[in-house]
């Protein structure tokens, strides 16, 4: 697997819906490639941050009503 393929799959959220062979291929790539390992970590942090921000905005909207 190329880094370009991994970045696309990770950022689009398609990895969980892949077959077992393709998922294991992405996992093997992350074990080997430190750049993609870093990208995955940063992508997961950003996803968690956006979810927290969305929850904050939703709670602010509810309290404003």
Please write the tens of the pLDDT for every residue from 15-28: 999 999 999 999 99
User: What pTM was estimated for this model as a whole?
Assistant: 0.79
Task: Give counts: helices (H), strands (E), the chain.
Answer: 3, 0
Neighbours of 13 (CB within 10 A): 10
pLDDT given at position 61: 72
pLDDT given at position 63: 77
The chain-wide mean pLDDT, for the chain, equals 92
């Amino acid at each position: 697997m190329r880094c370009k393929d991994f970045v696309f799959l990770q950022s689009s959220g398609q990895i969980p819906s892949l077959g077992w062979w393709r998922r294991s291929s992405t996992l093997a790539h992350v074990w080997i490639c430190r750049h993609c390992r870093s990208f995955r970590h940063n992508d997961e942090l950003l996803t968690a941050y956006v979810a927290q921000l969305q929850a904050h905005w939703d709670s602010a909207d509810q309290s404003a009503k």
